Chains A and B, each alone.
Chain A
Amino acid sequence: KQEVTQIPAALSVPEGENLVLNCSFTDSAIYNLQWFRQDPGKGLTSLLLIQSSQREQTSGRLNASLDKSSGRSTLYIAASQPGDSATYLCAVRDSSYKLIFGSGTRLLVRP
């Protein structure tokens, strides 16, 4: 059974810092991995999607990497801003094509 773990569960950083969020999954047989952002009481916003054949994807200040063989992904946020404060969710599309979510990392960027 695929399990997705995110570390840390919560993170507080001062504005301007670069930071890394971690995601690990137990079964490397995945179709793709996706990072989402969720603001309190809101739905999900897709940030980056990495296909299983890809190593990384970039969008603006965000960079996501994927090491399928070791079951790891990282989300790198450069020059963090208070507006980046949210919960970041990692999800893998497993062999049954279901999207399996991690429990998220709650990020607070302090002004």
Chain B
Amino acid sequence: GAVVSQHPSRVICKSGTSVKIECRSLDFQATTMFWYRQFPKQSLMLMATSNEGSKATYEQGVEKDKFLINHASLTLSTLTVTSAHPEDSSFYICSARTSGGNEQFFGPGTRLTVL
């Protein structure tokens, strides 16, 4: 089956620093990638959708200048949390879909803790 990886799996940083999370599709070309965040005991909330080579489309309420998304290739998307604060602490999950694909494949998630 299709595999999506994320790196790092866990990161702890100080308030005010920036953190980059990578999402890779290992055995397929992902024309579209999605970034979700999940707070404890809550469901996944879509943050943004990115298509390879295009600017990301952000959901309402998500600050595009704070959560920078780059989808430079068909196998890699990155999410950079700029000037992170404790309220940004969450579980970030990426997902990938092929062109015309019916199914999304999810990465294992990245636990971000901002002190």
Chain A positions near chain B (C-beta within 8 angstroms)? 31-32, 34, 36, 41-46, 49, 51, 89, 98-104, 106
Known contacts: A49-B102, A49-B103. The answer to whether A42 contacts B108 by CB under 8 A is yes
A8 → chain B closest CB, angstroms: 14
B106 within 8 A of A: yes
B54 within 8 A of A: no
Q: What residue of chain A has the Cβ atom nearest to residue B46's Cβ?
A: A98
Chain A residues whose CB sits within 8 angstroms of the CB of B106 once the complex forms: 36, 43-46
- One digit per residue, 1 when the CB lies within 8 angstroms of any chain A CB and 0 when it does not, for chain B 101-115 equals 011111111010000
The number of chain B residues touching the other chain, given as a range, is 20 to 34
How many residue-residue contacts, CB under 8 A, span A and B? 42
In the complex the two chains form, what is the Cα distance from A42 to B95 in whole Å? 13
Q: What residue of chain A has the Cβ atom nearest to residue B32's Cβ?
A: A97
Q: Can you report 30 residue pairs joining A to B where beta carbons are below 8 Å apart?
A: A34-B103, A36-B106, A41-B91, A42-B108, A42-B109, A43-B93, A43-B106, A43-B107, A43-B108, A44-B44, A44-B93, A44-B106, A45-B106, A46-B103, A46-B105, A46-B106, A49-B102, A89-B43, A89-B44, A98-B49, A99-B34, A99-B46, A99-B95, A99-B104, A101-B44, A101-B45, A102-B43, A103-B42, A104-B43, A106-B41
- One digit per residue, 1 when the CB lies within 8 angstroms of any chain A CB and 0 when it does not, for chain B 80-107 equals 0000000000010101000000111111
In the complex the two chains form, what is the Cα distance from A51 to B91 in whole Å? 29
Q: Are B43 and A101 in contact, with the CB atoms below 8 A?
A: yes
